[in-house]
Structure 1
Amino acid sequence: MTKIPILDYLTKVVNSENVDEFTTYQIYPTAISKTLGFQITDVASGEAKVSINADHEIHGNQQGTIHGGLLCELADAAIGTAHSTLMNEGESFTSIELKINFFRPTWKDKLTAYAKPIQSGKTITVYHCEISNTEGKLVAAVTSTVMTLRGDKAKGR
């Protein structure tokens, strides 16, 4: 297998290219993304869009709408994917904060989370992520702080 940068690997995934002969520095697709049915729909350096076909019968809360935890996970997946495009071999990262605001309920719809940095540093990056429905209406907005890990701090993560 040929090891390629994460951005190159994910670009191939988004473009529906066969990645069987390639590997990268992190695991894609992630186990949680496979479990929940997330799809990376667009990727660029430091940016990502991740979508899900959300259904209240599968992802619902006690009120019958899409559970806020699913929206948090969707945003976290988009932010993590965006940040992973900046990682080099031997680097990793971890979220150290995430805040979400919910704006409207949803029941059954394709939701897309778009994440991009609003402040990038060598170690700390702050992201903004918007989750929209198919009408382009804002369902939720998220900010998250991500810490890049290097050397011994990145090992095993």
Structure 2
Amino acid sequence: MTETTETMLPVLEYLRRQLAKTLRPGETTHLRYPTAISRLLNLEVVAVDERLAAVRIAADVGLHGNQQGTVHGGLLAELADAAIGTAHSTVIEPGESFTSLDLSARFVRPAWSGPLIATARCTHPGRTVSQYQCEITREDGAVVAMVSSAVMTLRGEAAAGR
């Protein structure tokens, strides 16, 4: 009988291995990946680096549509939030957590069924509050939305239980 021992990896290394499909049994990180919302919406991390992430969804107006028959803005906001959260998580240490302080979306053009990719980059890496920009594009490369967010890193008691 073989016993699998758990190996705790830094978030960035865990996500890189997950993306490369080289995670070994028992390799984990201190944050939850994939997140519950990512599993529900079938979001997929397609690129990751320090303070950078790209997340894809196969949008379907039958599931994600609004009254006009285009992808709902709330789904676009969630897609951007997932990319921003993934990007910020790459610098989160054990014992730390984080939370979004705000999220501002500017919708540029409609999207219909098909792949959408949200690419989030840090524009100001603060010790406590960091700023992110995220661009959501359609398969044809057209920008669908621009999203900005401030993310706060929580430490000590503020991170406890999160």
TM above 0.5, yes or no, is yes
The yes-or-no answer on 1:64 pairing with 2:64 is: no
The residue identity in structure 2 corresponding to 1:149 is L
User: Is the CA contact (8 Å cut-off) linking 2:14 and 2:23 kept in structure 1?
Assistant: no
- Unmatched 5+ residue regions in structure 2? 1-5
- Equivalent residue number for residue 3 of structure 2: none
User: Is the CA contact (8 Å cut-off) linking 1:102 and 1:139 kept in structure 2?
Assistant: yes
- Equivalent residue number for residue 13 of structure 2: 8
Shift of 1:19: 4.2
- Equivalent residue number for residue 133 of structure 1: 138
TM normalised by structure 2 equals 0.95
- Equivalent residue number for residue 76 of structure 1: 81
Q: 2:37 aligns with which of 24, 27, 32?
A: 32
**3-state DSSP of counterpart to 1:70:** helix
TM normalised by structure 1 equals 0.98
The residue identity in structure 2 corresponding to 1:65 is T
- Say which one has the larger Rg: 2
- Equivalent residue number for residue 23 of structure 2: 18
Shift of 1:65: 0.6
The residue identity in structure 2 corresponding to 1:51 is R
- Unmatched 5+ residue regions in structure 1? none
Identity %: 50
Name the count of aligned residue pairs: 157
The yes-or-no answer on 1:153 pairing with 2:158 is: yes
